[in-house]
Structure 1
Amino acid sequence: MRVYNYIYTFASTCLVLILVLLPAAYANEQITDYHARIEIAKNGDLTVTETISVIAEGRNINRGIFRDFPLYFISSNGTEKRVDFDIISIKRNGNKEPYHTSYVNSDIRIYIGEEDYYIDRGPHTYEIKYQTDRQMQFFNEGDELYWNVTGNFWQFQINKASAEVHAPDNGKISGVAFFTGRVGQQLQFANAKISDDGRSAFFETTKALSQGEGLTIVAQMPVGTVNKPTESQEFWWFMRDFGHVVVATITLIIVGLYYGISWLIIGRDPTPSHIRERQTTSLGISPALVRYIYNRSRVDGTFTSISAAILNLAVKDYIKIEDIDGDPQLVVSENRELQKLPVGEAAIMEAVNKYGTFRITKSNGKSLTALRSSFNNAISSEHRNMFYKHNSGAIALGIILTIVGLGATMVFNIMGLFTLITSTIFAIIAGVLLIPIYLLGKWFLSFENDGLRYLLVSIMSVIGVVGAGLIIAGIYLVIEDTNTWSHIPFAIVAVLLVALNIFFFDLMGRPTNMGAELMAQIEGLKLHLENYHEQRMNLAGTPRMSPKYFEKQLPYAVALDIEKPWSETFDKWLESAEAKTAGVSSYRPRWDRDRWYHNRRDNDKRFKGFSNHMSKSISSAMPVQRSSSSGSSSGSSGGGGGGGGGGGW
């Protein structure tokens, strides 16, 4: 019996505790009273004191509350106006309370409280006093304050909301209106009255405001109650709204003029000989150097250059190429005639001579990496600025001017560094998207440099730039989730700045006089190798095809990425009556010991792509680089100035 008494007592105690604690545990956090006192100054500035009483239960409200305030005011004609917002004081329960701010989209967010301090559960009253400008609207009928008292984006229900508006000195309020509900609704769950002396008006809701609902008020005054902004003030307000666009546009003009003048002075290409009248069959420089010049004095990022150099050494009988289990091996030729080699080929021969053989395989990856490095350094160090000047200093100064100009937009960019960085990132993305348009234009112009083609490409480029700017601006606005449409022209100007730098990065470099002449000769050789049959038929003095002539030009064809058409030309010759008359019915390179390159059994494609095969072999043998670990009647709820919302943190 005693045991049952214990059980009964324990169960009763638990039930009492549940009945007592359960309501408290599930008590709602809410705003019990929200009151705003709005004082209008003669110059139109507003001093607003918001008194917000809340019930904290330790769920959303732990350290305190936060308040979001929009920094943009949508005027009656739908345009955006950027406003100032200055905090005067913040209190909790009558005492000064610490706070900090941050930017969230187009709002400033005020976090009231401290990171490491939790407030007590129960009622708390917050007072936020701030000043803001440019909130008044001016009509022929009178001056008007259109003000969203509470904002429509609070996390909590607002049991009661009220506001009092005080006219400037010697001013009176002549009319009032109010709206409740969600954004865009025109519900009338409120009351309003003007004081007997007309100096103030009072507004109060008659129904609680659920999440997403707010109170918006309108206070009308006779014309002249508030001073209209002066022309000087209007100018600086315009700069506040669009100063970042103005500065960015000025930057675009300055950078464009700088690049244009710099190009005329140091970037304009010398006039080369007419390529089509100079079908070149011999250059007198190595295939690796041909590719270096062809790439505008840039070291080849692929393995084509070193493949062309290896092939040229083989053709000159300095090395033989063997097949060792599918991997190419370079072997010193016994019959080679010693002579001074071009620097790139000399670097390869040094590596082969060291051991007598050099196998291109993974087990020899470190030596291959060292060989490629010495090969590239040898070519670039000896010929730097000899054939082509990149004018990197001029490009760097243009980029610096661009960065400084974009940085100067910060003076008028109230959203701060985040907006600038995100806009610039999207501008860079748009600029990258424009590269194919630019390359297509260059390809289009490469056929005939006549005025019509230039005009068409220019129009296409402008359409492409503006179109890409609009697309990127739209994406930016969607991601930013903001109504700040002034960012669209800024994004377009930023895109144009990025495109300008990309364009002149390619255009500013110029060949030297020697480089321009060699470029013309290289283009002539390329035309010769690509159009050999036509030249044999139409141009006197064109060399006759033979295995020796084919081998002589093959490394150059590899260097110019036309190995396939040159090999196909030789294939056709081998099958021709001319080859049979010369006694050439089959062909095997003397430098290809194990048919690594030649495949006589494949009649349709007698020759494998040497460059492709050798480049793949070198690439697969290279060590893998691993990264280290490590108002008025047309108004509605949510309109006008003010607004925002808030919650707990």
Structure 2
Amino acid sequence: MLRLLSWPILCAMLLALTSCSNFDREFTVQSANSTVEVYTDGTAFVSEFFDIEVKRAENYGGVYVDIPQRFTDASGGVHWRDFQLAAARRGGLDEYFSMENNVPGYSIYIGMEHCKSCSADLPKVPTKIQIAYWLGRLVRQEGDREILFLPAYMGRVHGQGAKKTLTLKLPPGGTLRPSQQDRQSTYHIMRSAPNEIQVSIPAGKRDRVLPDIEVEYPAGTFVTITSGTRVEWWLSDHFLPFIRILGPIVAGLFVLTRLGQAWRLPASLIAFDSKKTESTSPALAAYLFSNWKPEAAKPAFMASACHLAMKRLLRISSLGEDAEASDLSARQVRKKGKVARARWYGLPAVTRSVFGRIEGERPVNDRRTVLNALYGFERDLHQTVTEEYRKVRGGADRTRLVAAATILAIGTAAAYFSGLLIFSVSICGILLVLFIVVMMFRHPERFPMAVSTSEQFKQALILFLGFPAIVIAALSYIGTTEVISEQRPYLMAILLDIVGIVTVVALRIPTPKQRQIHNDILVLNRYFLGEIEGPAMSVECYEHHLPFAVALNVEQHWTERFDRWRESEKMETYAPDWRSSS
């Protein structure tokens, strides 16, 4: 955006055109006059007049006035000025205006319209722009003296060096401090009245640097600053830099916290509690134990079939790949009444879906080959188990949502106060379109084609017209909008916020509840292998844990432990009713 650049310390009042305009072709600043009246409370009332020559009949119908609030003092400290607009006029009459945030301060647009296609062009005659406003916090303490500092803010005009005049109306008792720089080569200072100083800045180069004007007063001249005011000033000074780094900090803390939870080793246990398996399906145990590898589908399916057998909803010939299911009784169980239906629907969803697949197989002599039902079901099986795993965390991952929403709010605030809100929205629009297009190619099943002709027409409009229009508009705005040097750190922070949101949303690290279930599965495996203590062996204990032993591929170890127990208990035979003869 082409602007009349102001001196970036106190209140440089300089003009600019809208974005995409060319100031040198359409306007000329002939002179600029300013009056600053300073009060004993450390505030000032500023009135600025700019004489503008309109060079072209067709123009953007308005100008920008930049009001810097962010300044650097002699010690290098960055401070923020209070600002309150009093009036914006053109030709002596109140004019329409709008205010935009920026890192240095405010940009105030004075004009009826903000577009070149509108009919509200400024007439091709000499034009006078006036703006009046209040400024605060103009005094700093140095030892036993108070310093009123007024930067020489009328030093530069965009593309040219116009003549400027500055009148300072000051409280009595001040002494003008000598500058280390040669004022005579930059501007002329004279006392036009006992408490009034006039500064004349001749026309010159736009890149000249002018020294500040500092007036020294004895202590007690200005109103004493309270501790509360000092705290308020400190917060305003550090607000923008704080929100600039806050978003990446929140994202980093979230990632580190989740990584710390993922890397944390489970507490060493000497015993296993069988109640921990009651809320987990054998199929989920199989996937967790194999770290969600595709080959977990077979043990997950067989473990679910074994689970059905343990619930007496079918009989199974063996637990190997040649296992056959018979006497499927779930259909009858579901018809027997509320108790039976509660028994059926109390099973995990994945176990019920496995029964449906087995039931759908064509029987041979009332026998169905179990693994035949798995073919073509791997994807649905994985999705069903994934849904169960998501429910374990208790609904949505609130910590993830809160972190993403917090980073979004911080990024939005940084974009708003730095004047980069539309710029940031354009970047997000491009990224969102790219993300949707990539997802359409990678997961076309999530974007089903419309059936009706009207819906297909809408989809075609969005895909071939809507998305390109969004990208073109965003790229056009980004390419024609200038990011000034003070905005660049905030633009980088906003980009980091976007990366942080994507990272938080896409991070696939288990929640504490999910991590606990995974640790319970590892402990259960140690129990099967006899490395830790657990429930005392019995027929009920063996049958209760057998589906999980199948899921963890330790069914043989678990059965051997059961056989040794039978020998010790002098149990000669074990003929379960859940198992059918080969």
> Could you tell me which residue of structure 1 aligns to residue 236 of structure 2?
240
Residues 1:119 and 2:122 aligned together: yes
- Note the 1:352-367 alignment, pairs <5 A: 353=362
CA contact (8 A) 1:269 1:510 kept: no
Q: How far off its partner does 1:233 sit?
A: 1.2
Q: How far off its partner does 1:105 sit?
A: 3.4
Residues 1:222 and 2:217 aligned together: yes
Structure-2 change in CA distance of 1:220 and 1:346 (3 Å): same
**In 2, distance between residues paired with 1:555 and 1:508?**
23
Q: How far off its partner does 1:81 sit?
A: 0.9
CA contact (8 A) 2:88 2:131 kept: yes
> Could you tell me which residue of structure 2 aligns to residue 54 of structure 1?
52
Matched position secondary structure for 1:375: helix
- Note the 1:239-638 alignment, pairs <5 A: 239-242=235-238, 271=267, 273=269, 288-294=283-289, 303-306=294-297, 336-338=324-326, 343=352, 345-349=354-358, 353=362, 371=377, 374-376=380-382, 379=385, 389-391=392-394, 396=398, 399-400=401-402, 403=405, 415=417, 481-482=485-486, 506=510, 508-509=512-513, 516-522=519-525
Structure-2 change in CA distance of 1:348 and 1:238 (3 Å): same
Q: Deviations over 1:340-365 (max 9, x none)?
A: 6955644544565499999x9xxxxx
Matched position secondary structure for 2:523: helix
CA contact (8 A) 2:167 2:196 kept: yes
**In 2, distance between residues paired with 1:352 and 1:557?**
25
Q: How far off its partner does 1:126 sit?
A: 0.7
CA contact (8 A) 1:90 1:129 kept: yes
Residue identity over aligned pairs, in percent, reads: 14
> Could you tell me which residue of structure 2 aligns to residue 100 of structure 1?
98
Counterpart pick for 1:149 among 150, 153, 156: 153
Q: How far off its partner does 1:145 sit?
A: 1.8
**In 2, distance between residues paired with 1:409 and 1:400?**
14
Consecutive unaligned residues in structure 2, runs of 5 or more: 1-23, 273-279, 306-320, 329-349, 429-482, 532-548, 555-582
Matched position secondary structure for 1:148: coil
Structure-2 change in CA distance of 1:149 and 1:45 (3 Å): same
TM-score (norm. length: structure 1): 0.47
> Could you tell me which residue of structure 1 aligns to residue 185 of structure 2?
188
Q: How far off its partner does 1:174 sit?
A: 3.5
For 2:186, the aligned partner's letter is F
Relative contact order, CA 8 A, sep 6+: which one is greater?
1
> Could you tell me which residue of structure 2 aligns to residue 86 of structure 1?
84
> Could you tell me which residue of structure 2 aligns to residue 133 of structure 1?
136
Structure-2 change in CA distance of 1:339 and 1:495 (3 Å): same
Q: Deviations over 1:531-557 (max 9, x none)?
A: xxxxxxxxxxxxxxxxxxxxxx99967
Structure-2 change in CA distance of 1:526 and 1:339 (3 Å): farther
For 1:99, the aligned partner's letter is F
**In 1, distance between residues paired with 2:358 and 2:405?**
47
Counterpart pick for 1:34 among 28, 32, 35: 32
CA contact (8 A) 2:166 2:198 kept: yes
CA contact (8 A) 2:36 2:167 kept: yes
**In 2, distance between residues paired with 1:98 and 1:178?**
43
CA contact (8 A) 2:91 2:128 kept: yes
CA contact (8 A) 1:146 1:217 kept: yes
- Note the 1:68-87 alignment, pairs <5 A: 68-87=66-85
Matched position secondary structure for 1:130: strand
Q: How far off its partner does 1:205 sit?
A: 2.1
CA contact (8 A) 2:64 2:107 kept: yes
**In 2, distance between residues paired with 1:418 and 1:496?**
18
Q: Deviations over 1:552-592 (max 9, x none)?
A: x999679xxxxxxxxxxxxxxxxxxxxxxxxxxxxxxxxxx
Matched position secondary structure for 1:509: helix
Q: How many correspondences in the alignment?
A: 396
Q: How far off its partner does 1:495 sit?
A: 11
Q: Deviations over 1:455-513 (max 9, x none)?
A: xxxxxxxxxxxxxxxxxxxxxxxx8842899999999999999999999974522567x
Structure-2 change in CA distance of 1:308 and 1:48 (3 Å): same
CA contact (8 A) 1:245 1:409 kept: no
CA contact (8 A) 1:347 1:378 kept: no
> Could you tell me which residue of structure 1 aligns to residue 454 of structure 2?
none
Q: How far off its partner does 1:413 sit?
A: 10
**In 1, distance between residues paired with 2:66 and 2:389?**
62
CA contact (8 A) 1:30 1:158 kept: no
**In 1, distance between residues paired with 2:210 and 2:413?**
34
> Could you tell me which residue of structure 2 aligns to residue 469 of structure 1?
none
For 2:381, the aligned partner's letter is F
Q: How far off its partner does 1:42 sit?
A: 0.6
> What's the Cα RMSD here?
6.1
Q: Deviations over 1:45-94 (max 9, x none)?
A: 12111111111123895312112222212111111111111111111121
CA contact (8 A) 1:138 1:228 kept: no
CA contact (8 A) 1:71 1:85 kept: yes
**In 2, distance between residues paired with 1:32 and 1:287?**
83
Structure-2 change in CA distance of 1:308 and 1:27 (3 Å): closer
> Could you tell me which residue of structure 2 aligns to residue 595 of structure 1?
none
Q: How far off its partner does 1:212 sit?
A: 3.8
**In 2, distance between residues paired with 1:226 and 1:50?**
25
Matched position secondary structure for 1:150: coil
Q: Deviations over 1:317-369 (max 9, x none)?
A: xxxxxxxxxxxxxxxx99945376955644544565499999x9xxxxxx95x
TM-score (norm. length: structure 2): 0.51
CA contact (8 A) 1:44 1:135 kept: yes
Structure-2 change in CA distance of 1:381 and 1:400 (3 Å): closer
> Could you tell me which residue of structure 2 aligns to residue 209 of structure 1?
204
CA contact (8 A) 1:347 1:375 kept: no
> Could you tell me which residue of structure 2 aligns to residue 591 of structure 1?
none
For 1:137, the aligned partner's letter is R
> Could you tell me which residue of structure 1 aligns to residue 11 of structure 2?
none
CA contact (8 A) 1:150 1:216 kept: no
Q: Deviations over 1:391-419 (max 9, x none)?
A: 557x5168548856995999999827968
Q: How far off its partner does 1:305 sit?
A: 3.8
**In 2, distance between residues paired with 1:334 and 1:391?**
38
**In 2, distance between residues paired with 1:203 and 1:382?**
76
Matched position secondary structure for 2:232: helix
CA contact (8 A) 1:243 1:409 kept: no
CA contact (8 A) 1:163 1:202 kept: yes
**In 1, distance between residues paired with 2:415 and 2:227?**
22
Matched position secondary structure for 1:138: strand
**In 2, distance between residues paired with 1:334 and 1:488?**
61
Q: How far off its partner does 1:421 sit?
A: 12
Structure-2 change in CA distance of 1:75 and 1:223 (3 Å): same
Q: How far off its partner does 1:291 sit?
A: 2.9
Q: How far off its partner does 1:158 sit?
A: 3.2
CA contact (8 A) 2:403 2:504 kept: no
> Could you tell me which residue of structure 2 aligns to residue 200 of structure 1?
196
CA contact (8 A) 2:181 2:211 kept: yes
**In 2, distance between residues paired with 1:555 and 1:504?**
23
**In 2, distance between residues paired with 1:337 and 1:498?**
47
**In 2, distance between residues paired with 1:289 and 1:130?**
67
